[in-house]
Amino acid sequence: MTVAPRARINMGGKKTERAELRSPRELRGIIETVLRLAKSAGAPETEVHVDEVADALTRFANNGIHQNVFEHGVTVSIRTATGGRTARATTNRLDEDSLRAAIEASLSLAHSEPPDPRLLPMPGKQRYRAVRRFIRGTAALTPEDRARAVRLACDLAARKRQMAAGIFSSGQSQTAVGNSRGLFATYCETHSQFSVTMQEDPAASWAKADSADVREIYPQKLAERASRKAHLAVKTQELAPGRYTVTLEPAAVLDLVGFMFYDFAATAVQDKRSCLNNRMGKQLFGKNINIGDDVYHPLQKGAPFDGEGMPRQKVLLVDRGVPKNLVYSRASAKMARRKPTGHGFALPNEYGEAPMNLVLSGGDSSVEKMVASTNRGLLVTRLWYIREVDPYEKVMTGMTRDGLFLVENGRVTGAVRNLRFNQSLIEMLGKVELMSPSIRATGEESFEMVVPAMKVRDFHFSEVTKF
Amino acid sequence: MWDLCTNALDTAKLRGASYGDVRAMHLRQRDLTTKNGQVGTLAQSESIGIGVRVLANGAWGFASTDRLTREGVAACAAQAVSIAKASALAKRSNVVLAPEKSYVDSWQSPFRKDPFEIPLETQLALLLAADGEMRKVKGVTLTETSMQFRKIDSWLASSIGSQIHQRKVISGCGIGATSFQGGEIQKRSYPNSFGGQHALEGYELVDSLELLKHAPVIADEAAALHAAAQCPEKFGTVILAGNQLGLQIHESIGHPIELDRVLGQEANFAGTSFLTLDQFNKLKYASRIVNVVADARLDHGRGLGTFAYDDEGVPAQCTAIIKDGKFCGYLSSRETAHLIGLERSSGTMRTESWNRLPIIRMTNVSLLPGTWDYGDLIADTSDAILMDTNRSWSIDDRRYQFQFSTEIGWEIRGGKIVRMLKNPSYSGITTEFWNSCDAICKFDHWTLWGTPNCGKGQPMQTMGTGHGAAPARFRNVRIGTAFSKQ
């Protein structure tokens, strides 16, 4: 392990290796300072968010580290409300003059707008269910720890005459929200990710894991998995586009289903831009589809409160294929005469709320069983560049990437060139034949959620690319 | 600020760095939106901090902090060196930088009206008035407007002696009308989708857009699209409006020419490129009338990719990318230029903020104007679909196969626009598509479009890029696949 030479400047020893986040007392102190200054400035109501991150990311390509970064920062975001007007100002300077300037900016912005009679007073004190997602071992990970894990992946690639590329990230973050009506909430978590692409010209494959606890991430196993699949994908054949039975690995399911999260926002339905307009309570998906939002799920991360500090509720969104419930901010709940579910974004905003902790219930199958039960179909490792083509039918387009395999008579018989899909998610969730148990999945298009692998029939591929 | 930068460089050198550059940045932003006649977002923010990038033991390290004290930046610099030494544990070879001169300079992007000095009431009143014009149209179910303004100060100091201060003022503005009818959502945006037009300009950008004139037009179109004919599925001629062509350039030329992608440095996330080094100065990328440049100079226009120096202190340049249809240029950095034997970086290293590493980004990657008058182009076209304003976009991870859909299409028959088409889309292979280009409109119809939301890098960075484009015609294009019912 290489250690930076000490001396001359007092660096605080190990603190240069890993940042210490502020204590909960310090966060509360910042909030109380802002509330005091805002009161002096004449703000009738004030809300304060304090967010702090200390994140590191080691990036590698061509079998070596080529980027390696660390950041530490804190932001204070202040919302004032006065006479039906509200606005937000954010700064990362914590001295009283800067905080006072941010308060003045927030008040000035608010005074410039016409009053909105629907603006609700800020919520009062709330009770929160505790969640523990801060793992000391993750917070303590050093650049040397990450470099050693990366080196193992790169050495494996070199032995296999492959090229490794990817990231190993780790970090910690905390957030606190408080307001002038006595609300106060804090949350902290750690996070770590290892993602690896193994390239064996002209093929590549990929594996990735995400966890609050770095001990649950196995870089070597992920590298070995990507390496095996890259080797399998070297010789490809071109397959005609069309409808195929597909086995979607969890990352592929996540990156597709993740695009539905905002459709479950009450504001999206009120604005008539959700695919659930006029479809609530109807049999929209297959009866084997159950979707909920649950920040307390053991595989989930995130704060147990929303942008206004309201406690997040567990919400059943889809029950046996029927959309049953939406998530509500305080404003959209009032409009719909419902109770807020604790999913609101920080105000002011035009999007309202969204479920940020989707859990799609799985089954008892496995990727291996799905492949074994397929007469002719495709095994999809990962999807890429997914975009919405039709917002109401929820048609998504995108490409397969990093390993698309032909399945014949219950086994993988070879790799095929990547295909473009144009597929309605509504239709897809009506044609799910098998599901694995749900896992914490991580991809690149959606934020992490808990989803299963899926076997889906009649998945629509429209075009083929050149590799 | 220079004292802090110098302090960081001194510390990095003491700790063993062979090279260092320090970026202090102060970013200010104002966001205003309306929805259905009410104010949506009303916010402003500022962020100030410092990022230190160093080479030690032949490898890179980067650390950033918002602690702007001598102790804070010294600790940050020491940490960057410590990280670089950790990088060296798994380096493949020593990093070598292409030579570059040092510069001491200060530059400010030109603007006529400081958007932060325009009263908020004036800005909101314009947005609410445009919102109101759209809501007057029957069938419109959702109206949205937005303005975004940024003022970015950056101070770059490097161990080769550069000290460069730059101030950029950026403005963006757009409006949109959405109509939900009979199980179909249609939307029209002006002057472009996803936030409108963005440029290195002041409030004069907003003035130039004439929002109140265009608001009822797009609202009418959004409502009318429901009754329009479906875009057919076929191979045929497509004319792309400038705003759509700008994104086509971004995705199918701008990204594949990034040398970090070509060299595999983005293989895990953003992907690689079909423009492998053996294609350099050989590939017939496009038809002979196609000329593309990457031009960060102010002479090219006030685009999101305009600056005086990139974020590793290399002066803005104009690089030929496609000349008379032939591929002839990459976007490079000091490190990557050296790797392929170029004498100098093309000056495209850019960072989103003080807490992010500079990476290769597009500057203004623009299709140079052609010779056609727009009216003549339409009159010369017997059977085509004109596609306007992007709705969805997707391309594979080597930038070969793409699919785009636009908000609205217009059928051209016998040299005239004859009717509106809904759900237009087209797809293809990059080089086949660009080789099918047979007409490009002249400078009178050319706009330097801004793409404010280009994501790249890990951790993700969002960067603004510029794309000059005039309407252009493409033959034998696959049309309508996105909405195929096959």
**B8 and B23 inside one domain:** yes
pLDDT of residue A248: 98
**Backbone φ, ψ for residue A191 (5° rounding):** -150, 150
Cα-Cα-Cα-Cα torsion B4, B7, B13, B14, nearest 10 degrees, comes to -140
**Shared-domain flag, residues A343 and A298:** yes
Does A225 reside within a domain?
A: no
Three-state SS for B165?
A: strand
pLDDT at B339: 87
Locate tokens 């296999």: which residue?
Answer: A160
In a domain, A3, yes or no: no
Inter-chain contact B82–A73, Cβ cutoff 8 Å?
Answer: no
| Residue A221 in domain | no
Helix (H) or strand (E) holding A132: none
Considering only CA atoms, which of B194, B190, B108, B118 is closest in space to residue B149?
B118
Question: DSSP readout, B314-350?
Answer: PBP-EEEEEETTEE---B--HHHHHHTT-SS--S-EE
pLDDT of residue A7: 27
Residues B212 and B256 in one domain: no
Nearest CB to A89 within list B43, B93, B482? B43
B190 sits in which H/E element:
strand B184-190
From first to last of its 467 residues, chain A has per-residue pLDDT tens of 223 332 222 323 343 345 689 999 999 999 999 999 999 999 999 999 999 999 999 999 999 999 999 999 999 999 999 999 999 999 999 999 999 999 999 999 999 999 999 999 999 999 999 999 999 999 999 999 999 999 999 999 999 999 999 999 999 999 999 999 999 999 999 999 999 999 999 999 999 999 999 999 999 999 999 999 999 999 999 999 999 999 999 999 999 999 999 999 999 999 999 999 999 999 999 999 999 999 999 999 999 999 999 999 999 999 999 999 999 999 999 999 999 999 999 999 999 999 999 999 999 999 999 999 999 999 999 999 999 999 999 999 999 999 999 999 999 999 999 999 999 999 999 999 999 999 999 999 999 999 999 999 999 999 999 99
Interface contact A9-B59, CB threshold 8 A: no
Q: Do A308 and A428 belong together in one domain?
A: yes
Among B227, B258, B279, identify where a domain stops: B227
Query: Predicted ipTM?
Result: 0.96
Of the candidates A354, A328, A390, A395, the one whose C-alpha atom is nearest the C-alpha of residue A262 is A354
Domain that holds residue B263: 229-483
Phi-psi region for residue B222, left (φ > 0), alpha (ψ -120 to 50) or beta? alpha
Query: Is B73 part of the contact surface with chain A (CB cutoff 8 Å)?
Result: no
- Nearest CB to A399; choose among B397, B405, B478: B397
- Indicate if B266 and B234 belong to the same structural domain: yes
Instruction: Quote the pTM value.
Output: 0.96
Contact flag A399-B483 (C-beta cutoff 8 Å): no
Sign of the torsion formed by the C-alpha atoms of B251, B253, B254 and B260: positive
Residue B169 near residue B162, CB atoms below 8 Å: no
B185 touches chain A (CB under 8 A): yes
Boundary of a domain, candidates B181, B204, B227:
B227
Q: Has residue A229 been placed in a domain?
A: no
**Do B392 and B476 belong together in one domain?**
yes
CB spacing of A146 vs B86 below 8 angstroms: yes
Question: What 8-state DSSP symbol labels residue A261?
Answer: G
SS3 A252: helix
Taking the C-alpha atoms of A174, A180, A182 and A188 in order, what is their torsion angle to the nearest 10 degrees? 0
User: Which of A164, A443, A463, A424 has its CA nearest to residue B396?
Assistant: A463
Task: Judge if B143 and B242 occupy the same domain.
Answer: no
- pLDDT, averaged across chain B: 97
pLDDT at A166: 98
Look up residue A334 and give its two tokens: 């009032």
For residue A298, the distance in angstroms to the closest alpha carbon of chain B comes to: 26
Of B42, B65, B83, the CB nearest to A109: B42
| Burial call A242-270: b when 16+ CB within 10 Å, e when fewer | eebbbbbbbbbbbbbbbbbbbbbbbbbbb
Measured CA angle at A49 (ends A112, A141), to 5 deg: 145
Residues of chain B found within 8 Å of residue A382, distances taken between Cβ atoms:
none
Please tell me the predicted confidence (pLDDT) of residue B341: 86
Alpha carbons A244 and A17: distance in angstroms, whole number: 51
Tell me the sheet residues that pair with A378. A246, A406
Other beta carbons within 10 Å of B342? 16
Contact B65 A72 (CB under 8 A): yes
CA–CA dist A130, B40 (Å, integer): 32
Which residues of chain B lie closer than 8 angstroms to A350, CB-CB? 33-35, 40-41, 144
Of B192, B211, B227, which one is at a domain's C-terminal end? B227
Q: How far apart are CA A401 and CA B271, in angstroms?
A: 10
Higher pLDDT, residue B173 or A3: B173
Handedness of CA A290, A291, A295, A300 (dihedral sign): positive
Question: Please, are residues A174 and A31 in contact by the beta-carbon 8 Å criterion?
Answer: no
Tell me: do B174 and B198 sit in the same domain.
yes
Residues 6 or more apart from A128 whose CB is under 8 A from it? A185, A304, A305, A311
Number of residues assigned to chain A: 467
**CA atoms of B220 and B210, how far apart (whole Å):** 17
Same-domain pairing of A244 and A387: yes
Q: Could you give the residue ranges of the DSSP H alpha helices within B226-333?
A: 242-249, 259-262
C-alpha–C-alpha distance, residues B222 and B144, integer Å:
13
3-state SS, residue B5 = helix
The full length of chain B comes to 486
Cβ atoms of residues A205 and A56 within 8 Å: no
- Look at residue A12 in the predicted model and tell me its pLDDT: 31
For residues B50 and B77, what is the distance between their CA atoms, to the nearest angstrom? 10
A193 and A278 assigned to the same domain: no
Q: Do the chains contact at B396 and A465, CB–CB below 8 Å?
A: yes
Answer yes or no: do B66 and B204 share one domain: yes
CA B260 to CA B265: how far, in whole Å? 5
Statement to judge: residues A210 and A239 lie in one domain: no
Contact A21, A73 (CB under 8 A): no
**What is the DSSP-derived secondary structure letter of residue B300?**
G
In our burial notation (b when 16+ CB lie closer than 10 A, e otherwise), range B21-46 reads: bbbbbbbbbbbbbbbbebbbbbbbbb
Identify whether residues A285 and A196 lie together within a single domain: no
Element (H, E) at B253: none
Q: In B, which residues are within 8 Å of A57 by CB distance?
A: 458-459
Lookup: tokens for A243: 């409808």
For residue B128, the SS3 value is helix
Q: Which string of b and e fits B83-97 if b means at least 16 CB within 10 Å?
A: bbbbbbbbbbeebeb
Cβ(B425)–Cβ(B408) below 8 Å: no
Do the Cβ atoms of B90 and A151 come within 8 Å? yes
- CA A10 vs. chain centroid, Å, equals 38
Give yes or no for residue B410 having a pLDDT over 70. yes
Tokens of A223: 């590298």
- Distance from C-alpha of B145 to C-alpha of B175, rounded to nearest angstrom: 4
Amino acid A382: pLDDT: 96
Helix %, strand %, coil % of chain A (to 5): 25, 40, 40
The number of folded domains in chain A is: 2
Question: Do residue A165 and residue A310 come from a single domain?
Answer: no
Chain B interface test: which of A17, A162, A399 (most B C-beta within 10 Å):
A399
3 state SS for B389-403: EEEEEEECCCCCEEE
Claim to verify: residue A438 and residue A370 sit in the same structural domain: yes
One domain for residues A69 and A205: yes
Work out how many domains chain B is built from and give that number: 2
Structural domain of A31? 13-214
Nearest by CB to A143, which of B74, B82, B356?
B82
CATH number of the domain to which A197 belongs:
3.30.2290.10
Q: Which two tokens stand for residue A67?
A: 């980027």
Strands A449-451 and B59-65: unpaired
Q: Which residues neighbour A158 within 8 Å (Cβ) at sequence distance 6 or greater?
A: A63
B27, B73, B87: best to mutate for the A interface, most A CBs within 10 A: B87
* Mean pLDDT within B250-272: 97
**Beta-carbon separation of B75 and A401 below 8 A:** no
CB-CB contact of A296 with A314 (8 Å): yes
Interface residue B353 vs chain A (CB under 8 A): no
Q: Which residue in A has a C-alpha nearest to residue B354's C-alpha?
A: A71
In a domain, A70, yes or no: yes
Residues B80 and B107 in one domain: yes
Same domain, A194 and A337: no
Candidates B61, B401, B482; nearest CB to A68: B61
Between CA A148 and CA B63 the distance in angstroms is 19
The span from the CA of B67 to the CA of B304, in Å, is 29
Q: Which among A50, A412, A467 is positioned nearest to A246, based on CA atoms?
A: A412
Interface test with A, best of B7, B67, B260, B397 (most A CBs within 10 A): B397
- On whether both A97 and A202 belong to a single domain, the answer is yes
Nearest CA distance, A268 vs chain B (angstrom): 10
Residues A169 and A263 placed together within one structural domain of the fold = no
